[in-house]
Structures are given as structure tokens and as C-alpha cells.
Amino acid sequence: MRSSHVHPAALACLVASVAGAPAVAQDQAPASGGVLDRPEPSVSDLLKRLDTLEERNKELETRVTELTREQGEEWLGEQRASQIRDVVRDVLADADQRASLRDGGMTAGWNDGFFLASNDGRFRMNVGGFVQSRFIWSSIQEGPPTAPPSNGFVQDRQVNRYGFDVPDLQLWADGHVFSRDFQYMVKARFSQGFSTELTKGPGSAFAVGGAEYRDVELLDAWIRVNLDDHWSARFGQFRTPFSRGFLVLEQYQMAASRSVVDYHYALGYTQGLELEYANDEARVRMSVNNGEQDQLLGDVNINNQVPGGAYAVFSTGSYGAANAPFWAQTSSYSFTGRVDWKPSGQWDQFRSYTSPAMEEFGMLLGAGFHVQQSYAYQPNNSNGPIDPSNFWVTATADAQLNFGGASFYGAFFYNYLNSPGAISPSLGAPGSASFADLGVIRIYAFQTVAATYIMPKVELFGRYEFAMVDGVNQSALPVSVQNPDPLNLLTAGVNWYLDGQDIKWTTDLGWAITEVHPWFADLNAGWRPSGSDEIVFRTQLQLMF
């Protein structure tokens, strides 16, 4: 603020300028009624004017200060608004970048799995997979140097085998195109190849072993068309609609591996057409397909351990007739069906065998059947007689109860097989295999699983498995595999659900109460052909994404 006092020098200058004004103006033309006609002001008048100017100056300064402050506040307000607008634009741009790919309309993100989708919902792809890493230890009684007939199939002289492996690694993509009525799925796994010998020593048979990930195996490859709210049709390669033992996916198993009973009798993948009806309480599936490899008399590779060889019935693939060309199919006809009835609970509860605490009570009852007639496999029939045909009927019934913190599952299997065309497999040369008539074979098997949570994320479980083969034409078999004992396996373990099924750590211990005949052995799960008291320990970490 300026001072209100007038400096004497300034006052003198002002007076002099005012006094000299008429002289200057006299050189100009007079203006009638102008300022020059007025009398000269006195010093007192000048002082009054000066005071007035000082007051006006103060008012102007005050006004300028107020305007400056107002403008500053307005500028700050605009600055804040501009900053907020920038933040909003950044947030919207980030959201747009996350939720929309360029060309408008493609969304991507995570919703219980990674996905890509169009903005209008007509197209969607879900991508995912899982990996299982485990340590496994298998202990058997030592096989004799020269095998007597009673246990001649025990060829492995190595009592303890142990190590780390990756038993399963899968990748998949599924979703819909054009609308939710056209669905698809493609799934593949990296399968274990075998390149080394499992048994060594003079006089012993040889079986391939030694895991090596070198092949990619096609699993699911199908298209589903929804006909209406309840009916749908599926074409391609899919899980045979027969037993929950195989319809429950690998990543949702209770133990570190699917049961031996399921491995042999729950069927696997096939190719064909499936018609499905589903509502809130029931699901019915019927399929006409290319048939199955039964695994009824064991794995082909395991059978090659047996001195003199054992016999397989439908050696068309590994655990199912998956990804085979039409001309390699050996079934004359094959039909499969399954019915599920859910009187209580939700369908999602039965994706696995577990029932977390606080879950509502659920019950699922199911039954399935499979009928197939097939020929023994020969790559070319032009130089020999037509292969004899084998007729196979199998049925299953299962039930699951979820109690919210505990669960129970049980399944029963029956197989009827008339097999005049069984073959003794030879590695790499199926055409040179010999035929045998094994007559009418009946196989009975069942399993039970019980589980309970002892902590919110920790679950204890136990499983018992039984299987027996009856009616085989023993004279057609090598002496070493005649009259096998029934299978009796007991497994107990614990699941730690670190993040539900997505991150799960499973540890279990299995005991073979009786011998593990080659028809029942499952090397992938750790069970080798052996006498009684075989022990298998497994601990496995699973990550699903």
C-alpha cells in the first residue's frame, strides 16, 4: 500500500505544471467553453484533488488485490479441475486398455481363468491349464532270479524305485463362437514317452520305462451345438459318458492319481457323436462312437513284462481310442450312455469328490453302460483271414454324498467280455501278434472314498479298491499269469488346499494287501506288478491357471 503523504517536490512540480498549462495552451486555437476558459485552481484545490486521487488510488489498489486473489483462486480451481480431468482420462484410458483391444470390441482379463471375448458377447475363448509335480516312491518284494509259476510275472529285481516326475501337464482352450449356442474345446497334454528298460538281468523279460516328455497327446477336440435350453449335440473327440471315475477331471481327483480301478474300468476318450439332455435335477447322455480300448487285461506295455506274454483284447491305443484315423478303428459298433440324477445340491458341487465346510448338502446318483463289438487289430487284412470279433458289455453305478465338511463316494463296475480274438501284443509289431480265445470273461470291481476336513483347508481321505477277474480260459494264458488273486488296495492321504483346487498339495500312502497282477498294475500311478505288501508313497503339488 502506498503512503498518503505528499512529497513537497512532487507538489511543486504539480503546481508548476498546472500553472504553465495556459501558456502552452495559448499557442493553440481557443475552444469556446473549454477547460482553458475556467479559472486557475488554487493550491488548496490542488491539495483536495491530490487527496481525492490518493483515495481513489487506494481503492484501485484494494480492487486490484481483490481481483488478483479472485483470479488466483479461479486459476487454482481450474487447475484442480484440469488435474481431476487428467486423472479421470487416465483411469478411463487404463480401463479401456484393460477391457478393450483396439478395433473396439475385444475384452480380455481374468474371471476364474484367463479369457478373450468380444464386447457383444458373441465370441469368447477361455485359456488355461495345469501342471502337477510329484515325488513318488515304490517298494515291492524282490522278484526271484528264476521265476516260479506262482509269481513269474514279478520280473522287477529292483525293490525300491523313487524319484521326481511331472505326471500330468495339460493346456486347453474353450468357449463359444457367434453365440453361446456354438461351443468348442481343444485340450492337449504332454505325455510321458518311454525310452529305457525297466528290468535288467539275464533271463528276465523287458518292459519299457523311463519317462521322457517328447509327445503332445490330443485329448478333447469337440464342437457342441445347443439345440434349445435342455438339448445339445456334441461332435468330435471327448470323454466317454460312462463313469464319474473318468468324467471327474484329473485336476479334481481326491488322491495324487486316479484310482487303479478307474484306470482299468472307467473307460477313456473316444470319437463320435453325443446327444445330451440336462435340467436342474437330471442329465442324460447318449453316444455313438468309435469304441474304447478296454484295459480289462492290463496295459500293453506292462503285459510285455510277462514271460511268454499276456493278452490284450482291444489294443487300439493308450487309455482310449483317442485321435485315431477312421481307417484304424476296429469297432463294428459302439454305444455308450449315462444318466445322472441330482435330488439335492448344485451341479458345481460335483466337479470333484471333495465337500468344503459350510457347503450345502448334495447327493448325486449315476449309472452308465457301454456296448461294443470289435475286431482284433491288424494293419492289413488282405493277406489273412478276417480277425475274430470280440463282444464287450460293461455297466457302472456310482453315488456321491456331500455333507459340507465331509464327503463319500462309491462306484461299482461289471464287465462281460466274449473274447475269441484276444491278442498277445508284440512291441512295435501288432500285426505279428498271436491270437487266443480267452472265452467269456467277467470282471467285478468297486471302490469307496471317504473324506473329512480337519481344518478349513486341510482334508483327510481314505480309499479302498477291489477287483477280480473270473471265467478266463486259463489254458490260453501263460502259466505265470493264470488264476490271478483279486486286487486289494488301501490308500490314505491328506489334501492341503492352499488356494482351493488351483494350488493343491496332496500326499498319500498306498498299500497292496494282496498281489498286484499285471492285469491290475498301473505304472503311471506307481503300482508295479508285484506280490503282496507293495507300498507306494506320493506327494504332489498342483498348480492350475
Residue type for position 193:
G
Asked if pLDDT for residue 463 goes beyond 90, the answer is yes
What span, in angstroms and rounded, lies between the C-alpha atoms of 386 and 419? 15
Q: For the segment 358-402, what is each residue's pLDDT rounded down to a tens digit?
A: 999 999 999 999 999 887 655 555 555 566 788 999 999 999 999
Pairing label, strands 439-455, 406-419: antiparallel
The answer to whether residues 113 and 244 belong to one domain is yes
Pair 383, 471 in one domain: yes
Shared domain for 377 and 522, answered yes or no, is: yes
Residues 81 and 110 in one domain: no
Domain that holds residue 509: 106-544
* E strand intervals along 39-146: 106-110, 114-118, 124-139
Query: What local confidence, expressed as pLDDT, does residue 511 receive?
Result: 97
Residue 115, Cβ density class (10 Å: 0-12 exposed, 13-18 middle, ≥19 buried): middle
Contact (CB, 8 A) for 437 and 422? yes
Q: 248: burial class by Cβ within 10 Å (0-12, 13-18, 19+)?
A: buried
Last residue of a domain, which of 86, 118, 143? 86
Residue 91 in any domain: the answer is: no
**What cell numbers appear for 95 in the block?**
480401463
Other beta carbons within 10 Å of 523: 20
Q: Are residues 134 and 263 in the same domain?
A: yes
Tens digits of per-residue pLDDT, 488-538? Answer: 999 999 999 999 999 999 999 999 999 999 889 988 899 998 888 999 999
Domain presence at residue 3? no
144 vs 545: which has the higher pLDDT: 545
Q: Is the pLDDT at 127 greater than 70, yes or no? A: yes
- Name the least confident of 97-101, 288-292, 455-459: 97-101
Q: Which residue type, as a one-letter code, is found at position 47?
A: L
Residue 450: pLDDT band with limits 50, 70, 90 = very high
Give dist(CA 191, CA 302) in Å, integer: 17
Query: What pLDDT shows up at residue 211?
Result: 43
464 confidence band (pLDDT: 50, 70, 90): very high
- Report the candidate in 427, 393, 433 with the shortest Cα–Cα distance to residue 413: 393
Residue 242 pLDDT > 50, yes or no? yes
Considering 61-70, 151-160, 528-537, the range whose residues carry the highest mean pLDDT is 528-537
C-alpha separations of 430 from 112, 217, 269, 322, 388 in Å: 45, 21, 21, 18, 15
pLDDT at 142 over 50: yes
Q: What is the mean pLDDT of the chain?
A: 80
Residue 95 lies in a domain: no
How many domains are contained in the chain?
Answer: 2
Tell me the pLDDT tens digit for each residue of 269-305: 889 999 999 999 999 999 999 888 767 888 766 776 6
**What confidence tier does 2 reach under pLDDT thresholds 50, 70, 90?**
very low
Residue 74: pLDDT band (50, 70, 90) is low
131 and 169, same domain (yes or no): yes
pLDDT at 236: 94
- Regarding whether 340 and 384 lie in a shared domain, the answer is yes
Better pLDDT: 256 or 297:
256
Are both 122 and 26 inside the same structural domain? Answer: no
What pLDDT is stored for residue 252 in this prediction?
96
Tens digit of each residue's pLDDT (9 = 90 or more) over 320-362: 456 677 776 778 889 999 999 999 999 999 999 999 999 999 9
Q: Is residue 117 part of a domain?
A: yes
Residue 93 pLDDT = 65
